[in-house]
């Protein structure tokens, strides 16, 4: 193992290019989810800290140190940041694993993905496309895209370093300054990326990070009148509160919220492919994934065979301490979250569900002290059951039969969410037909959990609105400006 001490300095925010303590000196403990050990601390942010960070971001935006820098130069700096992330990849991966409980292999993937995001958006810096229209009387209309200003980026705890790149890449490439708020449960890698950004040459005040609780720091960002846009990823109820806060100050918001995504498997699907795909769709990242395929809808003629095969595949997934290179699933984020996940399972059993594998937390060695829950499959679940309707956000999946296309579509659309969906069939016309009828912002056909950076990602219904990734993310953080150039001589309308 490499040393992560470089990124475990005194607890503090990153404001105006330097690490600073909370205004009242407060701190919060950082726990290793795999052991329960407190191994670091972060600054417990205050509204005063948010005010300071926003003022720093506004000053940086106003004086143009970043917003008026040529796009190609912004791109060079973001490319240098990506290179530094790659240079420190192993340190960052170990920091991420310690902070999140992710298997080390998954953390390495996320670090590389973060660098990839900064590289991708570096190539888009300064490349927004406008319009030009010749109007009557010789007037010329130019429509240009300009950076919005100060962006508040509020990230969840499930993919912290990847979230820093997913939001930070397009926000910075488009010329904005930002105040990023990572989850208080997983702040360390975001602070590390901000420090590397300064090393890469990002001007002070452009990439600020304020750590602390969601209710205090996130709420202060959401309610701040000098934050032009808030981009929030997290739970639906919290997102709705963020939207209410933004409405109170009359400012923009983009929301990527919860999901209860269906995986639909027709009887002609290749089960040798569909079963492991469905397992990966739910159990990746311990099921702590907003687009997890947590409802598997299987045609009745193959339902029992599918449940048997999925149960065997889930039971074979290697749940191990996350630094074990063999680990395929690590720890849940916290003891509180583990209790919620287990509570959903026990409620489902009380409502008549049948556990075919898993269903109890792991407490024996080597799991003592950590927050481990095995892959869990629930059969005999009815569509009105809470576990079918609501997001568990853990390694728990329900399998429900359907008879025909119409019932599959009705079941897929029977929740308040609409983030992602996956359809499996050898008949591509049927898969396309069914997919088109599902309420979803992201659709996979005969694949799952593919998130190419070029693909706009986001949901419908209670899963939020706005899109991240691809060119759409750049558009999130810019505003259109119409510029009209006079043609003929201006005629005084008040003249006699």
Rounded to an integer, what distance in angstroms lies between the CA atom of residue 77 and that of residue 172?
Answer: 10
Are the beta carbons of 438 and 421 closer than 8 angstroms? yes
For residue 9, the tally of other CB atoms under 10 A from its CB is 12
- The single residue of 94, 256, 391, 469 carrying the catalytic annotation is 256
Rounded to an integer, what distance in angstroms lies between the CA atom of residue 204 and that of residue 212?
Answer: 21
The candidate with the shortest Cα–Cα distance to 218, out of 168, 269, 157, is 157
Both structure tokens of 363: 């407490």
Q: Is 468 a catalytic residue?
A: no
| Most distant CA pair in the chain, distance | 94
- The single residue of 91, 96, 290, 469 carrying the catalytic annotation is 290
The CA-based angle 324-329-331, given to 5 degrees, is 85
Sign of CA dihedral 227, 233, 236, 237: negative
Chain centroid to Cα 105, Å, comes to: 19
Distant-in-sequence, close-in-space partners of 495: CB < 8 Å, separation ≥ 6:
none
The backbone region for 425, taken as left when phi is positive above 0, alpha when psi lies in -120 to 50, beta otherwise, is beta
Q: Is 290 a catalytic residue?
A: yes
User: Looking at the annotation, which residues are catalytic?
Assistant: 256, 290
């Amino acid at each position: 193992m490499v040393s992560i001490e470089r990124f475990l300095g005194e607890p503090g925010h990153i404001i105006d290019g330097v690490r600073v303590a909370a205004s009242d000196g407060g701190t919060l403990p950082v726990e290793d989810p795999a052991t329960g050990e407190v191994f670091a601390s972060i600054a417990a942010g205050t509204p005063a800290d948010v005010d300071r960070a926003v003022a720093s971001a506004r000053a940086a935006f106003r004086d143009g140190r970043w917003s008026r820098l040529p796009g190609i130069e912004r791109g060079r700096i973001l490319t240098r940041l990506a290179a530094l992330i790659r240079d420190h990849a192993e340190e960052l991966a170990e920091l991420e694993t310690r902070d999140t409980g992710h298997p080390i292999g998954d953390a390495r993937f996320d670090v590389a993905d973060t660098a990839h995001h900064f590289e991708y958006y570096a190539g888009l810096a300064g490349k927004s496309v406008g319009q030009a229209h010749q109007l009557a009387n010789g007037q010329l209309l130019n429509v240009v895209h300009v950076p919005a200003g100060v962006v508040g980026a509020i990230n969840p705890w499930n993919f912290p370093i990847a979230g820093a790149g997913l939001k930070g890449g397009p926000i910075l490439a488009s010329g904005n300054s930002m105040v990023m708020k990572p989850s208080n449960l997983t702040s360390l890698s975001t602070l590390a990326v901000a420090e590397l950004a300064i090393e890469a040459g990002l001007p002070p005040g452009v990439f600020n990070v304020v750590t602390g609780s969601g209710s205090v720091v996130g709420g202060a960002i959401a309610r701040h009148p000098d934050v032009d846009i808030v981009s929030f990823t997290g739970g639906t109820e919290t997102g709705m509160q963020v939207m209410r806060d933004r409405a109170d100050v009359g400012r923009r918001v983009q929301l990527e919220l919860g999901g209860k995504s269906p995986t639909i498997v027709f009887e002609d699907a290749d089960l040798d492919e569909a079963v492991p795909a469905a397992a990966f769709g739910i159990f990746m990242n311990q099921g702590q994934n907003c687009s997890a395929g947590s409802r598997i809808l299987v045609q009745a003629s193959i339902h029992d065979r599918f449940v048997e095969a999925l149960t065997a595949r889930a039971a074979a997934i290697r749940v191990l301490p996350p630094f074990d290179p063999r680990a395929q699933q690590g720890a849940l984020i916290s003891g509180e979250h583990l209790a919620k996940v287990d509570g959903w399972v026990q409620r489902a059993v009380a409502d008549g569900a049948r556990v075919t594998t898993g269903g109890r937390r792991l407490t024996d060695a080597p799991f003592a002290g950590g927050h481990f829950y095995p892959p869990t499959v629930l059969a005999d679940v009815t569509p009105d059951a809470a576990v079918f309707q609501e997001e568990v956000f853990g390694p728990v999946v329900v399998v429900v039969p359907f008879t025909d296309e119409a019932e599959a579509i009705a079941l897929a659309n029977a929740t308040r969410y609409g983030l992602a969906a996956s359809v499996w069939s050898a008949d591509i016309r049927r898969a396309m037909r069914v997919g088109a009828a599902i309420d979803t912002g992201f659709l996979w056909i005969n694949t799952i959990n593919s998130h190419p950076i070029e693909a706009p990602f986001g949901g419908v219904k209670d899963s939020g609105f706005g899109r991240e990734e691809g060119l759409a993310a750049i558009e999130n953080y810019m505003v259109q400006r119409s510029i009209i150039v006079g043609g003929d001589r201006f005629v005084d309308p008040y003249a006699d």
